[in-house]
Amino acid sequence: MTRCGVGEAQWLPPGAWAEYEVEDGGEVVLGIDIGGGRAASVIVAVTRDLRVAAVHVYEGDEAVLTVSEKVLELARRFNVVEAAYDPWR
């Protein structure tokens, strides 16, 4: 499989996706992207001051179910104030 752009350059500086310790009950916004059969599905939890609390990447046919389970898990841990997603998938 050819993966364009891999290893050529970075669009974010090193460490930009580093996870930070965010206290349980802290407010987060979830970003969700369901990739489908040929692309990864991702869920990210970010605080209002843009600290990344969690990043999870899933691949395969069961990814959409795994993402749904992770949303519930994150909602039990954090105060989810918003969930944004790509409506295309």
> What is the DSSP code (8-state) at residue 11?
S
Q: What is the pTM of this model?
A: 0.76
Residue percentage of the chain with pLDDT more than 70: 78
DSSP string, 27-88: EEEEEEE---SSS-EEEEEE-TT--EEEEEEE-STTHHHHHHHHHHHHHHHSEEEEEEE-TT
pLDDT digits (tens, 9 = 90+) for 12-42: 566 666 778 899 999 999 999 888 777 888 8
pLDDT number for residue 5: 46
